[in-house]
Chains A and B, each alone.
Chain A
Amino acid sequence: MNNWRRRYLPVLCAAALCGFSFAQSTADEAIARGTRLQREGDLQGALAAFRDAVESAPQRIDAIMSLAVAYLHIGRPAEAIPGLRKARESVPRHQGVAYFLGLAYFQVHRYREAREELAWVVRRQPDNSQVRHLHGLCLLKLGELAEGIQALETVVGADPDNRQAVCTLGSAYIRAGLVDRAEALVSQRLRDDETPEASLIKGSLHLARKDYQSALADFERARIGNAALPTLHSQTGVALLYEGRRVRAAEEFRAELANNPSDFNANAFLGWLVQQNGESERALDLLQAAHSQNEFDTGVQYLLAQVHSSRGSWRESEALLEEVVTAQPGFIPAHVMLARAYAKLNRTERFRERRAIIDKLNAQQQERDLQGVDQLYDGSVLSMPKR
């Protein structure tokens, strides 16, 4: 809840300042009571008051909105959605309703619907950096990195001191493999910034550069300032994992999930780790959690397929791997696993075809390797498709 407040309260406040007008009615008293309780920090009391308001005036948009925002406020976004959708239909031009509906969708990981609502608001309020920021986040969640980066660049361009947006943009650059741009951004905006957020993004940069020791040092600095920063534990876990410190890595992933059960990387990497320990049931739960957050992430699809294969669920494995090889046709391990699935499912012709593809890809890879330099015995910890 604290996380939620820190992350979204400014957004909500900004939205409230957008000039939404709430009609007067017999529910006024309940709304006023709810607003006062909310200010006093009695969120449950406020929720009850707004519920009274909606019951007494079911058609009043301001009552519905207040109730929905109260749900969002206490971290129950799924319950906000029906009311907000109803309001959206009733007042389709109301930008505040669209924004809150987008926010609610975002919070329940319905990113496509969130993107639609937020894009609609952005078109009408192009200078609203809070909305644009959330829209950018949404695009990143959907894997639309270029569009997400563009949105965030606009936010940072308009407000270079918006540290939150700078950090999000830096993370997006790293995720997109634009490490040099991330480095430049951090250097320009966060060089002397010793806040936990800045340490986190600096650590992320080191992580992207595969400098795990430096990453761990930055993450430790961030931890001292704010151990509850989202993704801090999971990124620490990734650095530890690639350092070969699996037990500590697993502890970090678990710590992240304790704070943030939907953390994508913590679910994915812990899922992979427990699968390595033969705990396929637990692995399946974790990886499915990651998969539910981003069903298009080929890395998770690939890891999930491994779990299914190990459990003899070849059809499930086949379905996932076909998506992976479509999205990442050059990622040989997925082709190999798919060929195995075909073999197990007695799809002889498909197996032969896939084997021919593997042979061709291996030959191409060999040619590339011959041109490569500095190829050491690296014994990679984990092979993953590009994400």
Chain B
Amino acid sequence: MKSSAPVARSAICGAFFAMAGFPGLPVAAQIASGAGSAPIRFESILPAESGIRWEHVNGMSDERHLPETVGAGCAFLDFNNDGWMDVYFVNSGPSDFYRPIRPIANALYRNNRDGTFTDVTDAAGVRGGQFGMGAAAADYDADGDTDLFVTAYGRNLLFRNRGDGSFEEVAESAGLYSEGWFTDAVWFDYDNDSHLDLFVSGFVSYSLTESKYCGDNQAGRRHYCIPRSFRPTRCLLYRNNGDGTFRDESESSGISRVGSKAFGAVATDINRDGSLDLFVANDTIQNFLFVNQGDGTFFEQGLLLGVAYSDAGTARSGMGVDAADYDGDGWQDLFVANIDQEMFSLYKNLQGDDFVDASLEVRRETRLYSGWGLRFFDFDNDGDPDLVLANGHPDDMIGLFKPLVSYKQELLLFENTGSDFLNVSDSAGEVFNGEYASRGLAVGDYDNDGDGDVLVSNNGAAPLLLRNGTARGNNWIGLRLVATRSNPEAYGAVVSWSAGGTERSRFRTSGGSFLSSHDPREILGLGAASEAEWIEVRWPGGPVDRLEGVAAGDYLEIREGEGIAD
């Protein structure tokens, strides 16, 4: 493990910004003013300001090869352990159907701690070189720095962080070599041995020779085929051997026994049995809910538990997913975004025995959208999880035969009302009026001001960096969890806190969204309270750390078994 100094530094910096009103960085979280009805504000930070000039190249061809419209993802990660979120973008690349005219690459941007970023891709050695899809960041080798797994149409890559600002690609030597079309990836400890294992979503069987003609012959227009046209493939599960290598347990665990067309995936504990389960969205076939049996195997129970199909019994085009306890009943609820007309679903967990599609508002507001990246997060720090979604139709010519549906679509923001969600996109800032071909979405506090900002990757275009300037006067405490016995990212931990007499808790999920990876820190919303009466971390292995009387406005590092580290 590395020193906790970076986190201490970030806390100091956060406090400094709060006091000084650092130019360009919002200090809203520290301002105690009337909460609740104050404006929600997300501002798109332009490349000239952020320094992020990278753009996604989708390689869109006349043949309309399906991988062109699926990618790609993005990630918030702190690759240099300085306490500031850096960003990573995945790009397309050479493949059997695509030869880029000029070199294109993934991009890693280092956070300059002043609201700007610097491209360090080449120095870090993370250009990629495949037709990239998604990114999943985690410290898989428990050496204290964040590594990066990148999925692709082609060959997946594992970038091991050397700890000196550079990475080495070790997929093959680590036992993660795989070829095909893979989309999402989720790091999680499925066997509770404290090592991070890896789930990888397998999409469809696709190649240049398997591509099909879908379109209008008379008009000579080719469209992207719906994935129904292609054979399913298999998801992968790799067990971490604890020595930097992995063993393929896809078959023995039951994960690959069902054919997949998998996109987004999230690991959470749906039945509170202490083992992480997997919810996986599939496009045009039923979603999977892999329930962990606690013996190294999973049983797929999506149909039984009501999350595999729509209420009408139809398989939908599942794309993005996430999990959170949105209604505070202690059970992990699920969310899945689908294509237009299918509506998105908020699945309320009925105590692990069943799920019910609970939100009429979500269904009503998402009918014309096609959702990809999404994330439950508490954008206004009032303590409950809200929801942000990135949208866009996969067919760039959809408007030709569906006048009400557009290729580029607006982002959506839903505010948690306690028992449901309210679409507040119209009042969330000008950026929510724009239309984008969005795919990946990651949430992270890149300016360390104590609220979640949003990174959105757009297909064939520049990404969006949304700075959260919501000014509701709510307070916060940020946590970085440092495991000493549990898995390095503390996935499966439960953070509980009490502020202003209100008790809340949050389960630490892994994955969620689409092809993307989030800031690993937890921001606890305190509402108007200036401190948390107590904070409790129940680590995956069972031990509990409890802190009393924690002041708002800082990031803290909590070390397993020791409480506050510094």
Contact = CB atoms under 8 A, between A and B. Distances in A.
B231 A370 contact: yes
Contact of B212 (A334, A373, A380): A373
Q: Which 6 pairs of residues, A with B, have the shortest CB-CB distance?
A: A333-B313, A336-B313, A379-B341, A337-B313, A369-B228, A244-B404
Contacts of B232: 366
A376 interface: yes
10 contacts: A244-B368, A277-B360, A306-B311, A310-B311, A339-B303, A366-B285, A372-B229, A373-B214, A374-B214, A375-B214
A379 B317 contact: yes
A337 B314 CA distance: 9
Nearest to A213: B403
Interface stretch (B97-105, B188-196, B391-399, B536-544): B391-399
Contacts of B339: 377, 379
Interface string A249-262: 00000000000000
B22 interface: no
A373 B306 CA distance: 31
B229 A369 contact: yes
Which of A276, A377, A379, A380 has the largest number of chain B CB atoms within 10 A?
A: A377
A381 interface: yes
Given A306-B311, A355-B303, A379-B405, 16 more contacts: A243-B404, A244-B403, A244-B404, A277-B360, A306-B312, A333-B309, A340-B303, A344-B354, A370-B231, A372-B228, A374-B213, A374-B214, A375-B228, A375-B229, A376-B401, A377-B398
A362 B395 CA distance: 25
B311 A343 contact: no
A351 B313 contact: no
Contact of B214 (A306, A335, A337, A376): A376
A92 interface: no
B223 interface: yes
Nearest to B341: A379
Contacts of A310: 311
Interface string A294-314: 000000000000100110000
A332 interface: yes
Nearest to B223: A376
A244 B285 contact: no
Given A244-B402, A370-B229, A380 B341 contact: yes
Contacts of A376: 214-215, 223-226, 395, 401
B382 interface: no
A378 interface: yes
Interface string B310-327: 011111010000000000
Interface string A310-351: 100000000000000000000011111101100110000001
Interface string B72-95: 000000000000000000000000
A336 B309 CA distance: 8
A375 B363 contact: no
A244 B341 contact: yes
Contacts of B216: 374
B224 A377 contact: yes
Contact of B394 (A334, A366, A377): A377
Interface of A: 243-245, 276-278, 306, 309-310, 332-337, 339-340, 343-344, 351, 355, 358, 362, 366, 369-370, 372-381, 383
Nearest to B397: A376
Contacts of A277: 360, 364
A78 B306 CA distance: 45
A377 B303 contact: no
Interface SS of chain B: loop
A245 B342 CA distance: 15
Contacts of B360: 277-278
A276 B394 contact: no
A245 B405 CA distance: 12
Nearest to B393: A377
B314 to A, nearest CB: 5
B304 interface: yes
Contacts, number: 103
B304 A381 contact: no
A335 B341 contact: no
Interface string B252-296: 000000010000000000000000000000000110000000000
Contacts of B312: 306, 333, 337, 383
A310 B310 CA distance: 12
Nearest to B225: A375
Contacts of A340: 303, 306, 313
B557 interface: no
A141 to B, nearest CB: 26
A100 B354 CA distance: 55
A306 B303 CA distance: 16
B9 to A, nearest CB: 48
Contacts of B304: 343, 351, 355
A375 B398 CA distance: 13
B340 interface: yes
Interface in B201-237: 212-216, 223-226, 228-232
Interface string B490-511: 0000000000000000000000
B341 A381 contact: yes
A67 B42 CA distance: 75
B311 A379 contact: no
B313 A332 contact: yes
A374 B224 CA distance: 9
Interface in B336-384: 339-342, 354, 360, 363-364, 368, 370
Contact of A366 (B213, B231, B317, B364): B231
Given A244-B402, A370-B229, A379-B402, A309 B311 contact: yes
A333 B316 CA distance: 11
Contact of A379 (B230, B286, B340): B340
A86 B231 CA distance: 65
A362 B285 CA distance: 8
A244 B401 CA distance: 12
Which of B224, B303, B398 has the largest number of chain A CB atoms within 10 A?
A: B303
A217 to B, nearest CB: 15
Nearest to B343: A276
Interface in B449-472: none
A239 B512 CA distance: 38
B314 A383 contact: yes
B99 to A, nearest CB: 26
A210 to B, nearest CB: 10
Nearest to A384: B312
Nearest to A339: B303
B303 A336 contact: yes
A245 B401 CA distance: 14
A258 to B, nearest CB: 26
Given A244-B368, A278-B360, A377 B317 contact: yes
A91 to B, nearest CB: 52
Given A243-B404, A336-B303, A380-B341, A375 B311 contact: no
A108 B228 CA distance: 45
B369 to A, nearest CB: 10
Given A370-B229, A376-B215, A379-B340, A334 B404 contact: no
B139 to A, nearest CB: 38
B170 to A, nearest CB: 36
Interface in B384-428: 393-395, 398, 401-405
Contact of B226 (A306, A332, A355, A375): A375
B277 to A, nearest CB: 18
A326 B143 CA distance: 60
A314 B226 CA distance: 34
B215 A335 contact: no
B351 to A, nearest CB: 14
